[in-house]
Amino acid sequence: MNVTAVRKETPVSMRFRNDDLAIIDRGAASVGLSRTEFVRRAALHDAQLAMLNERVVRVSDETFTEFLAAIDAPVKPLPPKAQERLTRKAPWA
């Protein structure tokens, strides 16, 4: 019986400028990761953010109609407490 192993990893080759690589190495060292793991995590993080920003939301016709009505409705004034919080200066400002 001839069994072929399934490849679990695929190598990726990248080119970096020396100054970029120095920053990557410093960041990786600061969190105790190898360069490869640091770049892998950063790439996965950015890919997940990109996918989240492109998410399609499917709703029923009724929900979509309610959504459009809410967008088209006149703006309601904020409750007084919310308005106060927005106009209050930060303690450190």
Q: Kindly report, residue by residue over 48-62, the tens digit of the pLDDT.
A: 999 888 878 899 999
- Residue 5 pLDDT > 80: no
Q: How confident is the model at residue 63 (pLDDT cuts 50, 70, 90)?
A: very high
**What's the CA gap between 74 and 76, in Å, rounded?**
6
Helices assigned H by DSSP within the chain: 18-30, 35-53, 61-72, 80-87
| Rg over CA atoms, the chain | 25
Domain boundaries, the chain: 18-72
Contact 28, 20 (CB under 8 A): no
Kindly report the pTM of this predicted structure: 0.53
Q: What is the pLDDT of residue 3?
A: 67
- Residue 93 pLDDT > 80: no
